[in-house]
Amino acid sequence: MSTIKIATWNINSVRLRIEQVIRFLKEQDIDVLCLQEIKCEEPQFPYDPFREAGYEHIEVSGMKGYHGTATVSKIPLERLPTAFCPREEARHVSTRIVVGKTDFELHNFYIPAGGDIADPVENLKFKHKLDFLATMNAYFTQRFAIGDDQQVLVGDFNIAPHENDVWSHKQLLKVVSHTPLEVGILKDLQDSHDFIDVARALIDDDEKLFSWWSYRSRDINKSDRGRRLDHIWVSQALKDAALCGGRDGFKVHRDCRFWERPSDHAPIVLDLNLP
């Protein structure tokens, strides 16, 4: 059996925080890292520091200034097609990873944040978010239809689905990221394909769990006003691989949110135990 450590981190500019990323990869001995909000185009991506640290396999979907996703790995990556126009917003990097006798697909997503108004008629950004989720759903219908049933979905989903994925369920019901409409559509995506939300499969629903804390709130240690926006999902075929390690197999690296000039997101890590 081999254990693959998979991490996902909305880094909010990979060039600005490259030292933090390399430090995290080394300290946690990560095998594969999915980054969101790299905020640069492919030619500007800092390939060299990753290669020097042993991450020779790099797949980037970038754009100038905004958004952008990248998957960096010690293990070879095979790039797969995306359902989304890569030139448009660079929110999905799809790869296949082969480990011994088994292989799985790793989908790195940056789901649109959706703006401030939780109404798809009034707010086109929110409509984009809901449409993006619908496209994801159709995309995975196709992946499963061709027999690719070993799926790992990670990234910044920009949705905190459970009551205890936010600091105050009541106060955030009308705030984009926790509205019943988007939570329902995310749930629909999950249920349509029987995906497992690894964090909530391993950690009790009563426990508050966050991966993001706004830059705008001060003293995030005193008043812990966070949200769980970052997720790792697996398909049923990978259930044992993802869950057999128990809750020690999943971690939010909250301390990274308190490093100097941090991203507003903390990285999350899953140990995937493959035969």
- Please report whether residue 85 would count as binding DNA according to CB under 7 A: no
Cβ 235 to DNA shortest distance, Å = 27
- Please report whether residue 125 would count as binding DNA according to CB under 7 A: yes
- Please report whether residue 127 would count as binding DNA according to CB under 7 A: no
- Please report whether residue 69 would count as binding DNA according to CB under 7 A: no
> Buried b / exposed e across 206-238, counting CB within 10 Å, b at 16+?
eeebbbbbeeeeeebeeeebbbbbbbbbbbeeb
Cβ 34 to DNA shortest distance, Å = 16
Cβ 68 to DNA shortest distance, Å = 10
3-state secondary structure of 35: strand
Taking the C-alpha atoms of residue 57 and residue 34, their distance in angstroms, rounded to an integer, is 12
- Please report whether residue 113 would count as binding DNA according to CB under 7 A: yes
- Please report whether residue 258 would count as binding DNA according to CB under 7 A: no
User: Residues with Cβ < 8 Å from 158, sequence gap 6 or more?
Assistant: 111, 112, 113, 114, 129, 177, 229
- Please report whether residue 120 would count as binding DNA according to CB under 7 A: no
| Subset of 24-53 contacting DNA (CB under 7 A) | 39-40
Kindly indicate which of the ranges 52-60, 61-69, 192-200, 242-250 contains the residues binding DNA, using the contact rule CB under 7 A.
Answer: 61-69
Q: Which is nearer to DNA, 40 or 242 (CB)?
A: 40
Taking the C-alpha atoms of residue 9 and residue 154, their distance in angstroms, rounded to an integer, is 9
Cβ 249 to DNA shortest distance, Å = 28
Q: Which is nearer to DNA, 111 or 199 (CB)?
A: 111
* Radius of gyration in angstroms for the set of CA atoms belonging to the chain, rounded to a whole number: 17
- Please report whether residue 8 would count as binding DNA according to CB under 7 A: no
- Please report whether residue 16 would count as binding DNA according to CB under 7 A: yes
C-alpha distances in Å from residue 122, one per residue of 119, 128, 135, 267 = 5, 12, 21, 33
Report whether 264 contacts 257 (CB < 8 A).
yes
| Residues facing residue 69 across a β-bridge | 36, 61
Cβ 262 to DNA shortest distance, Å = 8
- Please report whether residue 15 would count as binding DNA according to CB under 7 A: yes
- Please report whether residue 174 would count as binding DNA according to CB under 7 A: no
- Out of 121, 216, 219, 222, the only residue in the binding site for DNA (CB under 7 A) is 216
Q: List the structure tokens of 16.
A: 């600005």
Burial class (CB in 10 A: 0-12, 13-18, 19+), 239: middle
Report whether 165 contacts 209 (CB < 8 A).
yes
User: Which residues form the interface with DNA (CB under 7 A)?
Assistant: 12-13, 15-16, 39-40, 64-67, 112-113, 115, 125, 158, 215-216, 261
